[in-house]
Structures are given as structure tokens and as C-alpha cells.
Chains A and B, each alone.
Chain A
Amino acid sequence: MISFSEIETTVKRATRSVGFSWGIAEEVGKNIRLLEMFGLPGIKNINQYFKIYNNENFENINVYAKANFSKKFFCPIISGVNFFDQSSTISEFKQIEINNLAFPLLFIPFVSRTSEIIGKRIFLKIDNKEFLFNFNQSIYSNYLSGDIVEKSEKINLQFLENKNSFSENEWSELYKISENTFVEETEESKQKAAGAGLTDND
């Protein structure tokens, strides 16, 4: 089995060799390692992308807007780097749309890492494939095939507000159960607790 360390080093070198800068190559090396760790087909997709990268003219999303359109397909790497670098302004849009993104799975690690940086979950829909990014700790998805995804015509991305996934009532019920680990204090222990016997007006 290829180790994750080998994956990172080899992808970094390959990324540099097709023409990206070393700084970007470092990002992509980490990203593919991340995809493979989460069980997503990073190597398959980057390998296929690099085969065509220098023969096709990809566009870049340089500055993100709410809706990002192009007739040509966007490069997932430069668009991903810019997504990460502009994440604080992009997250204010709450929702963005990208049309025509090449190899969208290569965009995923940038989104996952952004989720950690901005401290919000992000929901991503690549055509009919759904991904929920949980602060770069896990990715929840209905995409299980492990295939290469060469193109996506429509991507929707939502920055989710930090809110509970349960009701007040459900929390109260659980809290009540947890109270069963507490012990009733005696009068004596109350009197001897921290600060006891002192005046707070000294």
C-alpha cells in the first residue's frame, strides 16, 4: 500500500511539474492526502486532470462572486486556492454557485479546510452529489462510487450557520439524565466550599 506520506510528496512534485508554483504544489499535496484519508478518489482524479491539464484551456475564478460562470471549465486547483484565500469574504455570501468546474473532487479539500478556518459547516452539491463538510474533521456524503468526476456543470455551496441539530427539549431531557451523576451536597460541605467564611467585601 502507498503511504499517505508518499502520496503527499509525489502529488506535490507532480503538481509542480505540470506548471503550478511550489506553494500551490504544497497545497495540492496536502489536499490529495486529505481526500485519500477521507476515502475519496484523490489520486485517480488528479492523475486524470494532469493528463489533460496542459492541453485544455481552463479558466480561473480569480475573484469570487455569488455566481461564477464561464463557458470554459474552471481549473479546480487555482479556483480552489482562491476560494481558500478569499474564504472570509466568500462566506459572507452565505451561498455561491459555480458553473462548469473541471474535476470538482479536486476542489473538495479546499472547501473542507475552509470549513475549519471559518468555523462553519459547508454544504456542497456537485450536480446530484452531496457533501457536508464538518470543520475538516469529516466529510458526510452520498457519493460513494469512487469514480473520476471529470466535469460538473452546476455546483452549489452553502455556508451553514452554527446552530444545534437538536431541539431545546431534547437537550433538556438529556441534561436531566446526566444529572443522575450529581451528588446532593451536605450543609457542612456547602459551608466549607471555596470562599466560605470570608467576606467578599474586603
Chain B
Amino acid sequence: MKIELRDPKYLMKLSKLGSFHQSKLSFLRSFLNEFKDWEYKRDLFELNEKGYGRAVYSFSKNKRTYSLVCFANEISDEERSDRVIATKWDAAFALHDGVPTKEDLERLAHNVPKQEVGRLSYKELTLSRANKSIRMFNHVVESLSKGNQPDTELLSKVGYLYRTTAVYGSGKFGLADRFRIKNREEIFGPFRLEMMLVYLVRQFTFDQVNHIARYKNPNTAVELDQNICRNLGIGNSTGLGMAPFIVNHPMLLNNWILARETALKKIREIKEASKEEISIFKNCLVKSLKNVTSWNTDSDFQNKKIKQLNEDLEKFIKFLNEEFSFKKAFPFNNIYIWAEENLNDECIEYIVSMLMEPYDEITKPLINKMSSDEDQYFNIPINRTIEELRNILENKYSEVLKIDFKKKENNQNFWFISKNKEEPRMANRYEIEGSNLEQPLAIARDIKKLYETIFTLKNSLKVGKFLKDNNHLRHVVRRAFITEKFPYAEIQDNTIGSKLMPIDMLRLKLSFFGAIKFDPRSDKWLRICMFQGAPLPIDLKSFDNHWIYNSLN
């Protein structure tokens, strides 16, 4: 049986994309698989009794080393902020390419804690900072210093000791450009080095609490239990900065979604599932429920989605146990069709992620195809005709062409870059000044403008000639030809309408990172957790691939 890939017009709606969950394709899971046979080391640990100072952790294999350089700083409670406008953090990190020299460490000490106003070099690959979850951190230190393990129930409410507030890579603030390292096989999957940084930061947080507790009370202190460590991840606060990324990287977006859709298609085409495969699927599904039931948020928007997900999962498990037979041919296709007919988006996409769990042989080859070279299709094919361009718009953007941008509510917002932090922001164009400096992120509106402009033009007119008088539409002409080749390159929705939930865009990206427990704090930013339940560095040689469902929290 041949199953078609899901239709982009159905899939690439923001409400659908905002229902995606982590899966086997997620970057933090593929990072651990790639680096499991690398040698992990804590090379330097120079913290004072309060836990301030520097540390270096590394992964090495053959002649290559990646080193995380950490700087833990003293800041007051008033200075602690997760907002991007903050200027001080509890800790700051850079991933250095190779083994840092004394001079490198000196240079980094002057720049890494400054983050955006510091300068990095081509020898650094990623940059980040993090703040303590003070309540958790102090509780853990206090407990350990007295010889007790912390209250796991309390820890489970948060799930981490530190929250990162940004992770930068690819040439930002002087970091190495992607082209310098793109041929390294170990980083063929996207965001590998960002994942490495976060993973090593997690280990630093454990080492730091143990160190402080020991200094606080050397006679009674104990180390944080490794099982508790495994159940702690790293938090992350994410705002609008992430949203434009998926619009600005159409081929990358396509490759992520295409990998997911290809996996789903191949799994739906499986005629018979083995006992082992069925058992992995069912086990992961049941174990994963803990991640849903311990998903805490104050957001009404998310709570409604979680409630719906819980109800749908209950319905699904009942269906699996009472009505469904794996003996019937194409069992996973039958499951998918039933889910489409009976469940909501949040649960359908949850099941899509679960279906991948038994199938390493399907997901593994897809992981290395999830990177992209955005420059490859940058040049506009000037010899194509207006008729061809019109056909692309009608075939690939039919949903977008239905939007009436003359209606105020469909044209309400504009995206801009803030002057103080150079970060993407969104505002109401009818209330806030600055829409003349709008970023080119209103793709749906501009595509429609392009369509209206070319509607009556001569079919045979060449695109190169058309552009002579229409360069204001050049950016969307380029996109249209990219979307022709890459079906999932474009969000088929309005990114400036009054009903836009920007966190849908954040959730899409973060689900591919492998984040769980999305906790929207408004419609524009959210908190998440990464690596919760993940093996510790000492476990890497041999660990359960389904670790993400092992969390006790």
C-alpha cells in the first residue's frame, strides 16, 4: 500500500504545527545517539565555596574535541531576569572548538559573561547563559548540605535547576560561521552543538550544587542522587526571537517536517508489525503518560490543550485495548486513520511521535537529512515565466490566497527588530508606530500581493523581466520558487493576523529540539524543559533509547 505524504495545506497551519511533540527525530535525542561513544571529561573545575568560578567540560573522539567553558557569576536577586534585556546571569557558557588554551580562557572570561555585548571568535561555536531556578537550587543545596536528598515532589514541579535564556550559534557575535564546520559528520543533524552545550550545562548544574553543598557543610554533605539527576533537565525561556527563524529558513523548515512526514508515511505503509515493535509502541505510549500528567502550566491556553490531550489519550488507549487488533494488515495506518477521525490535533501529533518509537531503521537515515543549505536555491530562476509562477502560487499557496488582507484583523500585526536588544518583536500596526520598518515576515500578505500583481500579466513574460519593475516583490518571488521544490517550506497561514498565537511558531521549533512540558507564560513566550530523564555522561556508552519516557517526574 502506498500512503501519500500529508498535504502541506492541511499540515502547515499554525494551530497544527503548534501541536507537535518531541520524537525520535528530535535534535537532543539524535545528539545523544551521535555522541554516545565520545569520551566525556570534566577538564577543569575551579569554583569557590559559593560556587562561583570557571569550569571546562569536553567531548573528544579521535583528534576532535569540543569544550564547554562555564563561568559562574555572583548576581543579586534583583539582577536575575530571564528576559532578553537582562545584562547579568548566574552562569554563562561558550562551546569552544578544541581544547582552550590559557589565553583562550582569559579571552572568554572577558567576553562570555557579557553575552551579546561581548565578542567571540571563530574558535567558539555556541554561546549561552542561564539563571538558577532559585527555589529549586537553594532547596537542593540546603538538603544536600544537611546530608539529605531533596524533595523529589518539589523538584518534579519544575524539573530543572537552571534555565537557559538564549542559545546562540552560527556566526552570532563573532562565533564561527556554519560553513567552517558544516562538513563534520558528527554535526550533520541540525543544532547538534547547541544541544551539546545544553547537555553539558546540565552536568555543570549538578556539579555546582554538589560543590556548594560540600563547602557549606563538609561533615554532613552528600552528593545529589544520580537517579534524581537523571530526572532533572535544563529549563529554557523562549520568546519571539525564535519565531522568525522558521520563516527565514524555509528549506530547513521543509527538511524537518519532511523527515517527520516521511517517517509517518513509511510507518503507515508497514503491513505487519512484529511483537517487539508493538510492545515498544505500547510501552512508550503508556510510559509517556507521565510526561503529560506532570505537565504543569498556569496558561489557560495550554491547560485546555493538555486536558484535551489527556481525554484523547484515554480514548485512544481504550480503543487500542478494547477494539483494535494489530493482526489486521497495516496496523499503524489503521491507528492513524482512527486518530484523524476521532481525536484532536494535539493527540494526533502525539501519536505520530509515538509511532516512530519502534522504528530506528526508518528514523535514523532521516536524521542526517534534516540540515539544509539555504544558499542553494537563493538565486531566482529568471528565465521561468509568469505563467509558471502563477501556477506555483495557485497550487502551493491556495490557502494563503483565500485570506482577505483588506480586513483590518488580517493585517493587524507587524514584526520588527527592537532597537535596544536587536530582537524580533511583534506589535499592532494600528496602535504602535514603526510599521514602515516592518520585517519581511508577512509572507502570506506579500504572496497575495504578488498573485494580484501577476494575475493579468502575459503568460510568456519572463520572471527576470517582471522583476525590473517589481523588485518590491522580489523576496516572495524567491520564496515561491523555493516552495515549488520544497513542499513544507512555508507556513500556510497568516503570520500577522489578530488571531496569531506566536507561541505556535515557538512550539514547532522547540518540539524538533526535543523539548517537553511547554509552559506558555503569555501568547509570546514560554518555558520548556530539555534533557529531563536523559542519561548522564557516565551512562552514555549504553542507555535506553526511549529515555525521554523514563522520567519519574
Residues of chain A whose beta carbon lies under 8 Å from any beta carbon of chain B: 1-6, 13, 17, 20-24, 26-27, 30, 62-63, 78, 81-82, 84-88, 113, 117
Instruction: Report whether A23 and B121 are in contact in the complex, using a CB–CB cutoff of 8 Å.
Output: no
Please report the number of residue pairs spanning A and B whose Cβ atoms sit closer than 8 angstroms: 75
**B464: nearest chain-A partner, CB-CB:** A85
B177 in the interface, Cβ–Cβ < 8 Å? yes
Interface residues of B in 419-472 (CB under 8 A from A): 437, 440, 464-465, 467-468, 471-472
Instruction: Report whether B417 and A23 are in contact in the complex, using a CB–CB cutoff of 8 Å.
Output: no
Instruction: Report whether A88 and B472 are in contact in the complex, using a CB–CB cutoff of 8 Å.
Output: no
**B122: nearest chain-A partner, CB-CB:** A1
Contacting residues, chain B, for A117 (C-beta < 8 A): 379
Complex CA–CA separation, A66 to B530 (angstroms): 61
| Contact of A22 with B375 at beta-carbon distance under 8 Å, contacts A4-B177, A85-B468, A88-B383 already known | no
Complex CA–CA separation, A58 to B494 (angstroms): 38
Complex CA–CA separation, A3 to B173 (angstroms): 8
| A–B complex contacts, Cβ < 8 Å, 17 sampled | A3-B172, A3-B177, A5-B178, A22-B440, A22-B475, A23-B471, A23-B474, A23-B477, A27-B474, A63-B468, A81-B467, A81-B471, A85-B468, A87-B382, A87-B464, A88-B382, A88-B464
| Contact of A6 with B174 at beta-carbon distance under 8 Å, contacts A23-B471, A85-B464 already known | yes
Find B471's partner among A2, A3, A6, A24 (CB 8 Å cutoff). Answer: A24
Instruction: Report whether B468 and A23 are in contact in the complex, using a CB–CB cutoff of 8 Å.
Output: no
**A6: nearest chain-B partner, CB-CB:** B171
What 1/0 mask marks residues of chain B from 149 to 177 whose CB sits below 8 Å from any chain A CB?
Answer: 00000000000000000000011111111
Distance of B423 from chain A, by nearest CB (Å): 13
The 10 closest A-B CB pairs, nearest first, are A23-B474, A5-B171, A3-B171, A85-B464, A23-B475, A22-B440, A21-B472, A22-B475, A4-B177, A21-B471
Complex CA–CA separation, A82 to B468 (angstroms): 6
B42 in the interface, Cβ–Cβ < 8 Å? no
Complex CA–CA separation, A27 to B475 (angstroms): 9
Distance of B53 from chain A, by nearest CB (Å): 28
| Contact of A26 with B471 at beta-carbon distance under 8 Å, contacts A3-B122, A5-B170, A5-B172 already known | no
B478 in the interface, Cβ–Cβ < 8 Å? yes
Instruction: Report whether A85 and B465 are in contact in the complex, using a CB–CB cutoff of 8 Å.
Output: yes
B473 in the interface, Cβ–Cβ < 8 Å? yes
Distance of A35 from chain B, by nearest CB (Å): 15
Contacting residues, chain A, for B10 (C-beta < 8 A): none
Complex CA–CA separation, A27 to B170 (angstroms): 20
**A87: nearest chain-B partner, CB-CB:** B382
Distance of B358 from chain A, by nearest CB (Å): 39
B378 in the interface, Cβ–Cβ < 8 Å? yes
Contacting residues, chain B, for A20 (C-beta < 8 A): 471
Complex CA–CA separation, A130 to B215 (angstroms): 69
Distance of B450 from chain A, by nearest CB (Å): 11
Instruction: Report whether B375 and A1 are in contact in the complex, using a CB–CB cutoff of 8 Å.
Output: no
| Contact of A1 with B474 at beta-carbon distance under 8 Å, contacts A13-B417, A88-B382 already known | no
Distance of B30 from chain A, by nearest CB (Å): 24
Instruction: Report whether B464 and A86 are in contact in the complex, using a CB–CB cutoff of 8 Å.
Output: yes
Instruction: Report whether A24 and B378 are in contact in the complex, using a CB–CB cutoff of 8 Å.
Output: no
Contacting residues, chain B, for A62 (C-beta < 8 A): 468
